[in-house]
Amino acid sequence: MFTSSHTTKSTTPSTSSWTVGNHTVRRIDEVVLPARTGPWLLPGATTDLVSRTPWLSPEFADEQGVLRLASHSFAVEVDGMRVLVDTGIGNGKRRANPAWHNLNSDYEARLRAAGFAPESVDLVVLTHLHADHVGWNTRAQGDAWVPTFPNARYIASRTEWDYWAGVDMEEARRQMFRDSVHPVREAGLLDLIDVAEEGTDVAPGIRLLPTPGHTPGQVAVELNSRGETALVTGDSIHHPVQMAHPELCSCVDVAPELAARTRNRVLGSLAGTSTLLLGSHFPAPTAGHVLREDGGYRLVPAPSGVTPIGG
Ligand SMILES: [Zn+2]
């Protein structure tokens, strides 16, 4: 039976979690994104098309065929190392997207309650350098933005860094780098990783896999323990509708055709395996296994344990 903080009416704070070998992966919720996000982000996923994929409803789309999307991080302890994958939108950031602008969520309190106090985090993995994945890299301190995780190494793909360094960025993107990326780099906390085609280990049981297209250096994050495997998508797959229709691209993909090829490759490699797929923007139930269906793929949700906060 599936239960999660999303559907549980209980007032007891809790966080959804999944077991991968010895690891417990926890979803740290930031915000549910507004209903207008889906039609903007995935314009090809019309309500007609979504309604023709009944397994998406009610968890991943509403009865009208409007997609549900969320912002969250995944937190996992690996052999005593405390790892966070992506850092969401962040609080108090000046953003062009109204859903991201000047957010005031209790993400940091949820992180603490899940046992991941910011000062205890050892490694922050950034799947790519977009505003909704780097926001909690920093927090406001007076007029300044300071690293939220002062004792962590932050890592991103060198390909990703080099791409943005070579682009004539619009002001909104420059702002994002100023408030959420440069403070971490200036504090000496950012490591750029050369990600090999077959993947690169960044810690025991944590491997970055290149999944380019959405951005050139976008990575998926593979977690391995005791023969069990999970894969955090980053934005290689924004929403489960792209499993049924891997050709559907987001409006913010840098290279849409490459993104679709990557999606097909990732889904094809996972189909029929025991690997748990963890969606970086998938609303609850968020995780599952991949099956082939009707020339595409389907997500079969995996039971999530509800880990009491502080437990
Ligand atoms: Zn994103």
Task: Tell me which long-range contacts 162-166 makes (C-beta under 8 A, separation of at least 24).
Answer: 162/217, 163/215, 163/216, 163/217, 163/254, 164/129
Q: Which of 178, 168, 275 is nearest to 221 (CA)?
A: 275
Alpha carbon of 207 to ligand 1 centroid (Å) = 20
pTM: 0.93
Strand 219-225 versus strand 228-232 pairing type? antiparallel
Task: Return the DSSP state at 108.
Answer: H
- Name the band, by pLDDT with cuts 50, 70 and 90, for residue 3: very low
State how far Cα 99 lies from the chain centre.
Answer: 17
C-alpha 154 – ligand 1 centre gap (Å): 18
12 falls in which pLDDT band (50, 70, 90)?
very low
Distance 281 CA to ligand 1 centre (A): 7
CA–centroid distance, residue 130 to ligand 1 (Å): 7
Confidence of residue 307 (pLDDT cuts 50, 70, 90): low
22 CA to centre of ligand 1 in angstroms: 28
Encoding tokens for residue 190? 């950012």
- Distance from the CA of 132 to the center of ligand 1, in angstroms? 5
β strands within 64-198, DSSP E: 70-78, 81-85, 123-125, 138-141, 144-147, 153-157, 190-193
CA of 250 to the centre of ligand 1 (A): 10
Query: Is pLDDT at 73 greater than 70 in this prediction?
Result: yes
As a whole number, the mean pLDDT across the chain is 93
pLDDT of residue 10: 38
Backbone angles phi, psi at 192, to 5 degrees: -100, 130
Segment (H or E) for 19: strand 14-20
Q: Which domains does the chain have, with CATH numbers?
A: 6-301 (3.60.15.10)
Whether the predicted pLDDT of 306 surpasses 70: no
> Which residues are within 8 A (CB) of 54 and not within 5 positions of it... i.e. 6 or more apart?
none
Task: Give the Å distance between the CA of 71 and the centre of ligand 1.
Answer: 8
3-state secondary structure of 215: coil
Of how many residues is the chain composed? 311
Closest among 274, 306, 309, 308 to 18, alpha carbons compared: 306
pLDDT confidence of 310, banded at 50, 70, 90? very low
237 C-alpha to ligand 1 centroid (Å): 9
**pLDDT for 11:** 41
Q: Distance of alpha carbon 181 from its chain centroid, rounded?
A: 17
- Residue 303's pLDDT band (cuts 50, 70, 90): confident
Gap between the Cα atoms of 180 and 196, Å rounded: 26
DSSP 181: I
Give 307 or 125, the one with higher predicted confidence: 125
Does residue 142 have a pLDDT over 70? Answer: yes
Q: pLDDT tens-digit profile of 260-274? A: 999 999 999 999 999
Task: Give the separation between CA 189 and CA 223, rounded to whole angstroms.
Answer: 23
Residues 6+ away with beta carbon under 8 Å from 27? 15, 16, 17, 72, 73, 74, 278, 284, 286, 304
**Ligand 1 mean position, distance from CA 295 (Å):** 26
Could you tell me if 54 and 240 are in contact, meaning their C-beta atoms sit under 8 angstroms apart?
no
Q: How many CB atoms lie within 10 A of CB 306?
A: 18
Measured CA to CA in angstroms, residue 304 lies from 1, 284, 286 at distances of 8, 9, 9
Dmax over CA atoms of the chain, in Å, equals 54
Give residue 41 CA to ligand 1 midpoint distance, Å. Answer: 10
Taking the centre of ligand 1 as the mean of its atom positions, its distance from the CA of residue 235, in whole angstroms, is: 5
Q: Is the pLDDT of residue 295 over 50?
A: yes
pLDDT digits (tens, 9 = 90+) for 107-130: 999 999 999 999 999 999 999 999
Looking at the DSSP bridge assignments, the partners of residue 156 are 192
